Structure 1
Amino acid sequence: MSLWVDKIDPIELRSNATEDEKQAVIRAVYKQVLGNIHVMESQRLTSAESFLKNGEISVRQFVNIVAKSDLYFSLFFESSSPYGFIELNFKHILGRAPQDQAEISEHVRICNEQGYEAEIDSYTNSDEYIQNFGENIVPYPQGTSTVVGMKNVTFNRTFALERGYATSDRNKPSRLTLDLAANMGTKITEPVSVSGPYSNTIKRFEISVTKTGIGPVVKRSATTYTVSYEQLTSKINSIQKTGGKILKITEVA
């Protein structure tokens, strides 16, 4: 079941909206899509805002424009790992976490083969987006009510992504790399503030992997890698690119 207590009232742009209501919709889109960062006046997409207020584009189209902006690109594409970027796209545009490794892999493929804009379009043009938000509802976290077809574990993963919503998503590492790569459930735990010699920078993880050998007889060999937290995402990407299958990821002292 969902662990959210507070219900979110969707923000919708109505045909008879006042100027103040239109501005509230614009602020809500910036907050949701840009991960709660403070948007300076010079960073606002004034032309797109005018199109939205004049009824020339829908909220869905405005969301698409914001997610394709130079600001979004620099905040979340240039400064994130491929996994982290896609994880945030799910959060910002669909209001949920990725359900499994297959979803991540599909969006990595779209981004690599078709490009950045196609990756953004794959969310805003999806049936899921249209069913949940339509043309004029601002995306919001999909944990306040039951969503048809959503796996139970996705509620926990979405909760993990939404925790700390008062802070921005700028420069945040991926929170779900371990769980998704190893197909593990995401546990809801109390947030812990860790600093000093026990911070994430020196945490180490063992990755148990099987690989297919090359030769006349197909054989699978078991291998274990030990990496730091900072190396974890790149090592997982490397294993998957070379055809390895991750069996288990465990934290080691």
Structure 2
Amino acid sequence: MVFGPASRLGVSRFDETPPVEWVPGSSPEDLETIINAVYRQVLGNAYVMESERLSVPESQFKRGELSVRDFVRVVAKSDLYRSRFFTSCARYRAIELNFRHLLGRTPYDLEEMRAHSTILDTKGFEADIDSYLDSDEYQNAFGEDFVPYIRGYKTEACESMVQFTHLFQMVRGASTSSLKGDLAGKQPKLNSLVINQTPTPVVSPASDGASFRNPPLGSRTRHGVGASAEGKVFRVEVTGYKSNAVNRVSKFRRSNQVFLVPFDKLSEQYKRIHKQGGVIASITPVN
């Protein structure tokens, strides 16, 4: 594939756009920007009509009566959010979307999804929303003043390469909607993948990625020379190494590289690439 802006898999805007933060003395224009950013993130890039906006909480936020986290909580508990992403969606699809909207990542594993399903069964919808926003993870990542943002492609937000690949099943670029135009619609996208801890191909949205769905062939099937019993050999294309703490001397980008990595070494290679400042352009099984 061609390296360049399209090869960044739709995460360049997330990577290059500073997080939106409330600071003391924010102007009315800044506050409006924060409000719109909360709607965009929490409602999954859905269009919000003027009649659907939460005018009272917006006014409270502008007067300083609500923090950014408080406003996120109000939007996530609103009838608008509930009708779009809870009552009309399958249970595990709703949980997937909560992770995307409120923590900016995909679920780690089946147990994490089950934990939220249990909260829904025993305490209800609002208590489950609180469980995301009151978590140590949310506080450490966003605190009271930052608008949540997509961060699941970053090393610190992932526990494994499997989870990294799952992000691209949920987010196909900065402008993608959580529901509109998504082939999965309101059905779970990650359920079986999370249960089996199955990685998926990472495909650029510049080609067929916008409509990509996980193929029937599981990535854990033994396939390719040197494949371990746990999975295939994967071809990892890396572009645009940036100078960072590891390589402060050079001001120039290093050349693009291609690695052939067995499944059981993917997580290790993923962390090494990101530590060195590289950007993963694609991850595909070797035929």
Provide the TM-score with structure 1 as the length reference. 0.71
Correspondent of 1:174 among 177, 184, 188: 188
The 1:53–1:164 alpha-carbon spacing in structure 2 relative to 1, beyond 3 Å, is same
| Equivalent pair of 1:59/1:138 in contact (CA under 8 Å) | yes
Aligned to 1:85: 94
Residue 114 of structure 1: how far off its partner (Å):
0.7
Aligned to 2:51: 42
Aligned to 1:186: 200
Q: How many correspondences in the alignment?
A: 200
Aligned to 2:137: 128
C-alpha distance after superposition, 1:228-249 (max 9, x if no partner): xxxxxxxxxxxxxxxxxxxxxx
Matches within 5 A, 1:77-116: 77-116=86-125
Residue 112 of structure 1: how far off its partner (Å):
0.8
The 1:97–1:194 alpha-carbon spacing in structure 2 relative to 1, beyond 3 Å, is closer
Bigger mean CA deviation after superposition, 57-66 or 6-15: 6-15
Aligned to 2:23: 14
| Equivalent pair of 2:20/2:147 in contact (CA under 8 Å) | yes
The 1:132–1:14 alpha-carbon spacing in structure 2 relative to 1, beyond 3 Å, is same
| Equivalent pair of 2:162/2:197 in contact (CA under 8 Å) | no
Aligned to 2:37: 28
The 1:190–1:43 alpha-carbon spacing in structure 2 relative to 1, beyond 3 Å, is same
| Equivalent pair of 2:90/2:186 in contact (CA under 8 Å) | no
Residue 9 of structure 1: how far off its partner (Å):
1.1
Query: How many angstroms apart in 2 are the aligned matches of 1:68 and 1:183?
Result: 30
Query: How many angstroms apart in 2 are the aligned matches of 1:194 and 1:29?
Result: 24
Residue 147 of structure 1: how far off its partner (Å):
1.6
Query: How many angstroms apart in 2 are the aligned matches of 1:165 and 1:10?
Result: 13
Query: How many angstroms apart in 2 are the aligned matches of 1:155 and 1:98?
Result: 10
The DSSP-based 3-state class of the residue aligned with 2:46 is coil
The DSSP-based 3-state class of the residue aligned with 1:147 is helix
The 1:177–1:145 alpha-carbon spacing in structure 2 relative to 1, beyond 3 Å, is closer
The 1:193–1:17 alpha-carbon spacing in structure 2 relative to 1, beyond 3 Å, is closer
| Equivalent pair of 2:35/2:58 in contact (CA under 8 Å) | yes
| Equivalent pair of 2:73/2:133 in contact (CA under 8 Å) | yes
Residue 78 of structure 1: how far off its partner (Å):
1.3
Bigger mean CA deviation after superposition, 168-177 or 2-11: 2-11
The DSSP-based 3-state class of the residue aligned with 2:128 is helix
Q: Name the amino acid aligned to 2:145.
A: N
The 1:144–1:158 alpha-carbon spacing in structure 2 relative to 1, beyond 3 Å, is closer
Residue 139 of structure 1: how far off its partner (Å):
0.3
Residue 164 of structure 1: how far off its partner (Å):
4.5
Q: Name the amino acid aligned to 1:103.
A: E
Residue 177 of structure 1: how far off its partner (Å):
1.7
- Which runs of 5 or more structure 2 residues have no equivalent in the other structure? 1-7, 180-184, 219-287
The 1:70–1:158 alpha-carbon spacing in structure 2 relative to 1, beyond 3 Å, is same
Residue 29 of structure 1: how far off its partner (Å):
0.2
Aligned to 1:218: none
Matched, 1:163 2:172: yes
The 1:160–1:204 alpha-carbon spacing in structure 2 relative to 1, beyond 3 Å, is closer
C-alpha distance after superposition, 1:202-237 (max 9, x if no partner): x9899xxxxxxxxxxxxxxxxxxxxxxxxxxxxxxx
